[in-house]
Amino acid sequence: MRYIILLISMAFFSWNAIADENNKGDLNKIVDEYRIYSLTRCVHDNYKKMGIDFSKSSLKDGTLAFIDIDNGLAFSAEKDNELDNFIKIKTGDFYQPRQKKGDLASVNMVMYDCMAFYHSKELAVFLKQLIRKAEADL
């Protein structure tokens, strides 16, 4: 009888450990998707400030909606949502030149800065917290 209880206990704890690993994998996958969302939002918003509006082209980029709706979290359903506000605060001035004078006064580094934001630990930490909060509210 002890062996049966021991086997059942081991199976239960093993299953629990596997479930935890799957949840971490799912969270990391969703974070990776929202990192792409954040990169896309950064590029779109900064280029729009420079007069290039991707939404006016004949072929629309569906990246933002695909990620946000596909994952079922739909942060962008609210106009002033926490995710888009965070992106705006952190990246909203990337379209501006890095220098006020000199050779680089007419140059920005939107793509470079957006990629640095995409890879930042700050974004990853923010997204994990936001996604966990959103999933807890479901």
**12 has pLDDT over 70:** no
Burial of 83 per CB tally in 10 Å (0-12, 13-18, 19+)? buried
Residue 114 falls inside a structural domain: yes
Measure the CA–CA gap between 31 and 130, rounded to whole angstroms. Answer: 10
Domain that holds residue 42: 28-137
User: pLDDT of 64-75, one tens digit each?
Assistant: 999 998 877 999
Residue 4 falls inside a structural domain: no
Residue 103 falls inside a structural domain: yes
Residue 120 falls inside a structural domain: yes
The predicted model scores a pTM of 0.79
Q: How many domains, in total, are found in the chain?
A: 1
User: pLDDT of 40-54, one tens digit each?
Assistant: 999 999 999 999 998
Measure the CA–CA gap between 80 and 110, rounded to whole angstroms. Answer: 23
Stretch 86-110: mean pLDDT, rounded?
Answer: 92
**10 has pLDDT over 80:** no
